[in-house]
């Protein structure tokens, strides 16, 4: 157990040093949420008081973009240069290994969410936000997005494929999760797709916590996103077992 | 360089492979092979590209699942549970797979951490290994900037940081310069002297002959022969060998050659090359004359000292220089 924890912690530390805390990533983590906030704000054409209504969307997108591609790219990169095999050879369970690999991305994604929150704090009053709901929601969106990144990483073999495949999931997700258009305003045949996306539930939780305009019961939202996290993790583990230890 | 096999306290083999088979679609990469690896020995696994060496190693270390057969490591059945013995093994792959963005020292410490070593223990061990492998001065340089020889040495150090009982070395001297290859061979011997059991695959037959206690030849997924180096070489002791190159097609007169020189063995490896073996001195003049009478000129003839290469040729039917060519090709592609 102790040895497993030492391995887990050091994999997280190594990934932080080697990938996540590199200057380009830190600057991306800062610029990206600022750009999204600015874009939403200019588009709305209103005053600072509307920032809380933009906040759930910006948080969700920052986390989604900060996690999916990073994990997909780093795992694919390590798989490509065979250093991932070194990890597979370590006497730790596959669950421990993948938890370690995903923890860095979850942490990085969660930190990305803090940037728009700090911006909002500086520009307007957000004292009414229910942080006890926002923080677990940010964490769960980061977990779901990271596990989606893991799912992508297992499905591709080249780094550029990881990027392309990430976008294949991310862009439809942004448009279908209720960020830009309410789900009820989408064509009937697209609505079931919206409810098959983890981000839909994450965004709904954030809306509920920030503006009180959630469309589903928060309990259902939490249940759904936890379900997606678990399913994506175990599907990825099964795929790793099938494809990488063959 | 070779030394006595260390006496094991346990008669049970360290690795026991029984009827191991692995298929990829219609291709049987490893076909019902069985062998054992004894405690304290260097076991060579030789064969050309595509013979099944890497697939076998991947199954032994837990990166691939066998379709049938069993693998026991230190008495533990690892066939269905490869994790059961991964703490006992170290792996040095043919291509260095450490992290280019980490320093040599950090790479070693990280590899130690993967095996649950405490911080103090892995720092101490990493420093010791860097010193042993002559890499202390490069310890704080990024691995990505190392030369091929340095990379190979650090990869070996990473493979033994947790003091494994068994070390898998895949092509340890391929792709590095002569001096580094020599150092690596010395390190392998020294590791074995200190008690590490080694499973070695190589394209260089002379490396296997110099280093290994036992050798297994694998061809097309099947083991052609496994025996000690001494026993493998035994039939060649006292044999005289000559390699002859000619300008015509020797194959056309192979029957006449055999009938005219019944005390010689002719192994015609290509239309223009043959290998002559005998239990006494070979009279080249007679052979040259005979070939000339059949319109074939001898362009080159040289004596050859019987070696493991000859054993390889006689057992596998494959020209030994094919392995060298494969190794050279690999070196150039790196």
- Under the banding of pLDDT at 50, 70 and 90, the label for residue B329 is low
pLDDT digits (tens, 9 = 90+) for A2-53: 888 999 999 999 998 888 888 877 777 778 777 877 777 677 666 677 777 7
Position B323 scores a pLDDT of 67
Domain, as residue range, for A34: 2-243
- Under the banding of pLDDT at 50, 70 and 90, the label for residue B5 is very low
pLDDT at A69 over 90: no
**Separation CA B7–CA A59 (nearest Å):** 65
Residues of A in contact with B98 (CB under 8 A): 83, 86
CB-based contacts of A2, cutoff 8 Å, min separation 6: B116
Task: Scan residues 76-135 of A and list those with Cβ closer than 8 Å to B.
Answer: 81-83, 85-93
The single residue listed with the structure tokens 């059945």 is B77
The token pair that represents B308 in the structure block: 């493991």
**Separation CA A40–CA A44 (nearest Å):** 6
**Separation CA A105–CA A194 (nearest Å):** 24
Per DSSP, A18 falls in state I
* Ranges of each domain in chain B: 15-233, 238-305
User: What's the CA angle centered on A137, arms A115 and A154, to 5 degrees?
Assistant: 90
CB-based contacts of A104, cutoff 8 Å, min separation 6: A12, A15, A16, A19, A20, A71
**Which chain A residue is nearest to residue B97, measuring alpha carbons?**
A83
pLDDT at A234 over 60: yes
Mutation pick from B116, B142, B170 vs chain A, by most beta carbons of A within 10 Å, is B116
pLDDT digits (tens, 9 = 90+) for B96-134: 889 998 999 999 999 999 999 999 999 999 999 999 889
B65/A85 CB distance under 8 A: no
ipTM of the shown complex: 0.84
- Is residue B55 within 8 A of residue B27, CB to CB? The reply is no
**Which chain A residue is nearest to residue B98, measuring alpha carbons?**
A83
For residue B334, the Cα-to-chain-centroid distance in whole angstroms is: 19
**Separation CA B166–CA B16 (nearest Å):** 13
**Separation CA B301–CA B267 (nearest Å):** 14
Q: How far is A90 from chain B (nearest CA, A)?
A: 6
**Separation CA B165–CA B86 (nearest Å):** 10
pLDDT at B6 over 70: no
pLDDT at B10 over 90: no
B97/A7 CB distance under 8 A: no
Range with the lowest mean pLDDT among A35-44, B180-189, B280-289?
A35-44
Mean per-residue pLDDT over chain B, rounded: 88
Average pLDDT over every residue of B191-204:
92
pLDDT at B2 over 60: no
Mean per-residue pLDDT over chain A, rounded: 86
Q: Which CATH number fits domain B238-305: 3.40.50.360, 1.10.357.10, 3.30.2350.10, 3.90.230.10?
A: 3.30.2350.10
**Separation CA B321–CA B263 (nearest Å):** 26
**Separation CA B276–CA B268 (nearest Å):** 9
Average pLDDT over every residue of B68-80:
92
Position B163 scores a pLDDT of 93
pLDDT digits (tens, 9 = 90+) for A102-144: 998 999 888 888 888 888 888 888 888 888 999 999 999 999 9
Q: How far is B83 from chain A (nearest CA, A)?
A: 6
**Separation CA B277–CA B261 (nearest Å):** 11
Position B7 scores a pLDDT of 41
Count A/B contacts: CB-CB distance under 8 Å: 68
- Domains identified in chain A, total number: 1
- Under the banding of pLDDT at 50, 70 and 90, the label for residue B324 is low
Q: Does A243 touch chain B (CB under 8 A)?
A: no
Asked if the B15-233 domain carries CATH number 3.40.50.280, the reply is no
> How many other C-beta atoms lie within 10 A of the C-beta of residue B320?
20
């Amino acid at each position: 157990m102790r040895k497993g924890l030492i391995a887990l912690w050091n994999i997280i530390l190594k990934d932080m040093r080697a990938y996540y805390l590199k200057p380009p990533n830190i600057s991306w983590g800062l610029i990206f949420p600022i750009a999204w906030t600015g874009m939403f704000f200019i588009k709305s054409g209103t005053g600072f008081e509307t920032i809380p209504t933009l906040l759930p969307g910006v948080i969700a997108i920052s986390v989604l973009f900060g996690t999916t591609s990073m994990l997909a790219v780093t795992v694919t990169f390590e798989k490509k240069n065979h250093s991932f095999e070194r990890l597979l050879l370590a006497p730790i369970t596959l669950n421990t290994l993948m938890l370690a690999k995903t923890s860095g991305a979850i942490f990085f994604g969660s930190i990305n969410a803090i940037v728009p929150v700090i911006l909002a704090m500086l520009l307007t009053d957000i004292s009414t936000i229910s942080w006890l709901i926002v923080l677990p929601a940010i964490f769960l969106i980061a977990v779901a997005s990271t596990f989606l990144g893991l799912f992508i990483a297992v499905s591709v073999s080249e780094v550029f494929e990881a990027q392309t495949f990430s976008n294949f999931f991310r862009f439809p997700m942004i448009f279908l999760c209720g960020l830009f258009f309410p789900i009820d305003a989408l064509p009937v045949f697209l609505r079931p797709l919206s409810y098959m996306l983890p981000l839909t539930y994450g965004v709904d939780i954030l809306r509920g916590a920030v503006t009180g305009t959630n469309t589903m019961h928060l309990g259902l939202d939490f249940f759904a996103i936890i379900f997606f996290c678990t399913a994506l993790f175990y599907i990825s583990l099964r795929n790793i077992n099938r494809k990488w230890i063959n | 360089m070779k030394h006595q096999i260390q006496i094991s306290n346990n008669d049970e083999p360290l690795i026991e492979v029984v009827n191991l088979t692995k298929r990829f679609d219609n291709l049987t990469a490893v076909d019902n092979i069985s062998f054992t690896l004894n405690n304290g020995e260097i076991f060579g696994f030789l064969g050309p590209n595509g013979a099944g060496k890497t697939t076998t190693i991947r199954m032994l270390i837990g990166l691939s699942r066998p379709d049938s057969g069993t693998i026991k490591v230190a008495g533990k059945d690892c066939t269905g549970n490869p994790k059961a013995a991964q703490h006992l093994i170290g792996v040095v792959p043919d291509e260095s797979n450490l992290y280019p963005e980490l320093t040599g020292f950090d790479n070693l410490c990280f590899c130690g951490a993967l095996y649950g070593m405490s911080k103090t223990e892995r720092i101490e061990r990493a420093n010791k290994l860097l010193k042993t492998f002559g890499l202390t001065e490069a310890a704080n340089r990024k691995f990505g900037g190392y030369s091929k020889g340095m990379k190979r040495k650090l990869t070996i150090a990473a493979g033994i940081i947790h003091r494994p009982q068994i070390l898998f070395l895949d092509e340890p001297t391929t792709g590095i310069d002569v001096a580094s290859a020599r150092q690596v061979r010395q390190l392998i011997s020294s590791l074995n002297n200190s008690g590490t059991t080694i499973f070695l695959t190589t394209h260089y037959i002379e490396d296997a002959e110099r280093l290994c206690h036992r050798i297994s030849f694998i061809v097309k997924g099947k083991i052609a022969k496994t025996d000690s180096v001494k026993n493998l070489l035994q039939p060649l002791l006292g044999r005289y060998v000559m390699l002859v190159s000619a300008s015509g097609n020797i194959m056309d007169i192979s029957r006449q050659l055999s009938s005219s020189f019944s005390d010689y063995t002719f192994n015609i490896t290509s239309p223009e090359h043959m290998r002559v073996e005998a239990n006494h001195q070979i009279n080249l003049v007679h052979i040259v004359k005979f070939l000339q009478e059949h319109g074939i000129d001898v362009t080159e003839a040289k004596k050859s000292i019987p070696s493991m290469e000859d054993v390889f040729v006689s057992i596998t039917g494959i020209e030994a220089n094919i392995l060298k060519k494969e190794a050279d090709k690999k070196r150039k592609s790196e």
